[in-house]
Structure 1
């Protein structure tokens, strides 16, 4: 009797060990290599804690609750737009992803392929993905301190080369009602109403910029808001600084988080 019991126990234990081994070797109980997170090539350029690698006026820029935050108060109203500028490079072809939240009266933007202005502290000149709290301009392509509006919301645009040397010498001659005149709208990306339905007010929104060669696409929450092909070899820029803005106007607050950059190989 004792021998039979011992044998039964041994057999039972062997069966149990075998079942456990089979379970552990079952692919349905193991994360496959395909299901593991993959590196998408983006790197974080804001650490969520400090302003390391960013340079701006501390009167307006700080880190609050893990967000890069720009604030204008009644006591700190601006006479000129001011930026906080990333110091990590001047990329040419890249993708940039971030999330933003802005107050209703806020006006801001994401500059890229931009240059600093020596005579004005923390100022940038160059392409901008516009952002505002009322969403009158959010997603459009506006060139700060240069050719002004290149594409409004919902426009696919070709910016054409300038003609004679006289017009080349004066940007102002080609600007009317804050819009560059040497441009051609080639396609509608949707009505203003349909596009604005995808943008949240007083909440977090995602921006994705794809800047490659002379083409610049601005997405908000996955929706293409403007698409510019810049054929103006005289005035376009192909690399430069990245920065975010607080704009002249009433008191406002804008916050940015999860700022990530992926450079595109030439």
Structure 2
């Protein structure tokens, strides 16, 4: 009897391993990065363990930059492969950004020195919309590198926009209000060419770290972020 039980257990174990190898590991679960009430899980760039500036507030279930001087807000945790979802709303003439793959080190004075940025902008009123090349500083763009494929995806200032950001094994996708507007490889000849023609040319740490924090940018303008969640892949 004992021999039969052992044999059955072995068969089940082999079958389970075969299934795992065939389908791969299961994806992670969605985890909230913002509880809707506090800034727990976040800190100011290069100031881990210190109180977050009172320029960053929680209002009506959203993280809000009330005025300039708060510094970029970054996640306590670092991530490698993931899907990030959130909603943002920008003030008139406002500018902000979602910066990812951020590496914290005093040698880098700002989050954007290492992390690429998904632009958050009032396209109608902010001058950055007309700067850069072919709209590569408008909402949804890979800032100063790639314009969004659909300039109509963004909603106007004062309205909520939904974002999905997928970072997975060297490929990044930006989604804005249900439309995929950017896709790129994080290394290789195409990436190198883009960087060489951008403001990031010669920046030693830019996009060099596969694992990093996620940042909400303080560009001095009022902005709101809510329903922030992540699923590690």
Q: Normalising to structure 2: TM-score of the pair?
A: 0.66
CA distance in 1, matches of 2:94, 2:154: 15
The aligned counterpart of 1:204 is: 160
Residue 153 of structure 1 aligns with which residue?
A: 148
Q: Where does residue 56 of structure 2 map in the other structure?
A: 61
Task: Find the aligned partners of 2:36 and 2:182 in 1 and give their Cα distance.
Answer: 29
Question: Residues 57-206 of structure 1: matches in 2 within 5 Å?
Answer: 57-72=52-67, 77=68, 82-87=71-76, 89-118=77-106, 123-124=111-112, 125-134=114-123, 136=129, 137-142=138-143, 149-154=144-149, 195-201=150-156, 202-206=158-162
Q: 2:103–2:209: 8 Å Cα contact kept in structure 1? A: no
Whether 1:47 and 2:35 are equivalent positions in the alignment is yes
CA RMSD after TM alignment: 2.5
* Aligned 8 A contact 1:95 1:263 in 2: yes
Contact 2:98 2:214 in 1 (8 A): yes
The 1:236/1:151 distance shift into structure 2, 3 A limit, reads: farther
Q: How many residues align?
A: 170
- Structure with higher Rg: it is 1
Q: 1:115 to 1:134 in 2, by over 3 A?
A: same
Q: Show the 5 A alignment for 1:218-237.
A: 218-232=174-188, 236-237=208-209
The 1-side partners of 2:122 and 2:109 are apart by: 25
Aligned position for 1:217: 173
Deviates more, 1:131-140 or 1:61-70: 131-140
Q: Larger % of strand: which?
A: 1
Query: Aligned partners of 2:28, 2:90: CA distance in 1, in Å?
Result: 28
In structure 1, the gaps of 5 or more residues are 1-38, 143-148, 155-194
Q: Distance in 2 between matches of 1:117 and 1:129?
A: 21
TM-aligned CA deviation for residue 122 of structure 1: 6.7
SS at match of 2:115: strand
2:217 aligns to what?
A: 245
CA contact (8 A) 1:110 1:130 kept: yes
Gaps of 5+ in 2: 1-26, 45-51, 130-137, 193-203
